[in-house]
Chains A and B, each alone.
Chain A
Amino acid sequence: MKNAGKESPTGFYRIAYFIKAVQEKSLSEINERIRDGSARVVTAEEMPDIVEELGPAGAVREVDVVTTGTFGAMCSSGVFLNLGHSDPPIKISRALLNRVEAYGGVAAVDLFLGATQPSEDRGMEYGGAHVMEDLISGKQIDVEAFGAGSDCYPQMELETSLRLEDFNQAIMVNPRNAYQRYNAASNSSDRTMHTYMGTLLPRLGNIHYSGAGLLNPISNDPNFDYIGIGTRIFLAGAPGFVMGSGTQHNPENNFSTLMVTGDMKKMSSRFLRAATFHKYGPSLYLGIGIPIPVLNERLAKSTAVRDRDISVPIVDYGVARRDRPALKMVSYEDLKSGVIDLYGKEVSASSLSSFLMAREVASALKEQVEKGEFLLSAAVEPLHRLGSSRPMKQTKESPNVVDVMSRDVVSVGEDIEVEEAAKLIVSGHFDHLPVVSREGKLMGIITTWDISKAVAGGKPSRIGDIMTRRVYSARADEPIELAARTFETHSISAMPVVDRENKVIGMITSNHLSSLLARRR
């Protein structure tokens, strides 16, 4: 039987052999075709129609490689930079690159520059991502380095100016990139929010989403039949590799991520763009693409994914908690239509990632594979197909508003006279009086200032005429950090605390928060 492999199959086996031969291909066969320029390559945008027309088996025969692409904000990115040794040598503990701090706690002259680190002089308008873009664009950056000084590293401080080519290595290592899909965002609160999901207008005024939908790399191989440790990828125009599953990798809920690496010296500023989200900070827009071989019908099916097959929740960023409520499930097809129906209202939806650039990544990759410049690689190990992302374990409990608020609150109805309110304030030593309806629900607030103003104006008036109706309040069961943030955002010093029915049950003031902090110290 030692020549069995060379004998031609007969009878039933011949049929089985034939079916197997047309429905499966090996990676080396595909690479052979890429090398000789005969590989049939399509983008993930073209694949669904091909599979629909030819069926999965026909698509395996017809298509060798499907190229994917995504281009969007990938905050969890950074680069290891090796500066080479100075004379006299320095062991850098703190470094500033164009006044952006890079982590110096790795050996003497290795730094890690994170994309979202804001600069010390320009704040969030310039950050780690901008330093990376400047380096790739050929610009020179200013380096300030500080060390403690030791017998082997006597130098304690130095300044220099460097270009990308002056670094020994500039190796991008991104802990979490290329999310499989991402929650869309809206905002039910009554103020405009500035988030990493862009500007979110009040009262569900708009929807922002991110992700390339049918072009997304992981969405085309959600079972990781091909993508694994060592898979060769397109990373911002340079050859890159998958190092493994990314942080917060959550395959059980279809929120998988990748950890990737690549040589920044070979990257293109076309596919690496620094960004700033207003009042959030710097971030990095990256183009990432993965070519997926159509090895079998299962991969033909998974690369035929359409926008309508990928759904995400629209979550409410108006709720400043980790578990933001989902308002609605929608598909990328719905999102890309530009209008979503939310509670009977047509809400405008737009993306933060660029589908145009995702397409450009997939097309650039297609061209590279067609020209034989990009070969596919077998994974060293598969990525984790199980696991989810757990919330933080918080061992030190932080108090809620109910734990620090004052229950000694006097509220008044709209109909009382200013004079009466003034007497209540004086006798109770309050600065604020919540105004409530007959059912005890919060309607407005009166401060000593409002009363002084009314008295100075000389006209007798009812509380209802002079109260502030746009009143901020805290929920009894929310963490005090949220109340502190409300004080800061709106420059106020006190607010009523309400229960779930908007009934006033207490007051919280900035004094409560500061005395709490004083007790902790």
Chain B
Amino acid sequence: MTAGPDGARANAPGGPPADVIVLDAVTRVFQVGDSEVRALDGVSLSVRRGESVALMGPSGSGKSTLLNVLGCLDTPTSGRYVLDGEAVEKLSEDQLADVRQRKIGFVFQAYHLVARMSAARNVELPMIFAGVPPAERRQRAQEALTSVGLAHRLTHRPDQLSGGERQRVAIARATAMRPSILLADEPTGNLDTKAGDEILGLLERLNAEGLTLVIVTHDPNVGRRAGRLLRMRDGRLVEEP
């Protein structure tokens, strides 16, 4: 893999880079007491725009650390990370917040919906912090919820929704800011098979519409359905054909 800010593949001049994620020799070292733990040990990875990638591996293999680095929730100890043409490994905390807001959507295993807020209000949340005017963000929240099939659940609170519906709200929230990538951490982990299938179907549809997808999962079935399957072991990536 040759060096270059935009990754190895050639890009159309002036257009968006073909590789939306480029990791180059990324390490992440945690200090635990007196010893160092290398959670990421020289990870290099390129993900094309519109690709869908599944990330599997035993617990402690570094999946979560990699996801945190990809999501700009954590910064690498060394190595480079170019997200959608922007080098982010040296950005300040506020700049990282901006990158997360504009480019990254998160979907969590436990949904992470704010319990006291309606579905629509939960979807509005990222737009509130982005300063989107109230009328516009209400409109966009409604559209996002409609597109995940929850037009009839706008005013429901999370505890009035089923697990599958909650994850749909979370996905609507993650896509409300029209991010470059969607990071899903065990998105079906708390769901039964049927609801999990529906959520996977929804994610695949979004992917088909052009959204780059990175899914961390324990479920081999989920892994198989992704366009590319990456396995992690001891902080290193093992790509499977």
Bound together = no
* Residues of chain A whose beta carbon lies under 8 Å from any beta carbon of chain B: none
* Residues of chain B whose beta carbon lies under 8 Å from any beta carbon of chain A: none
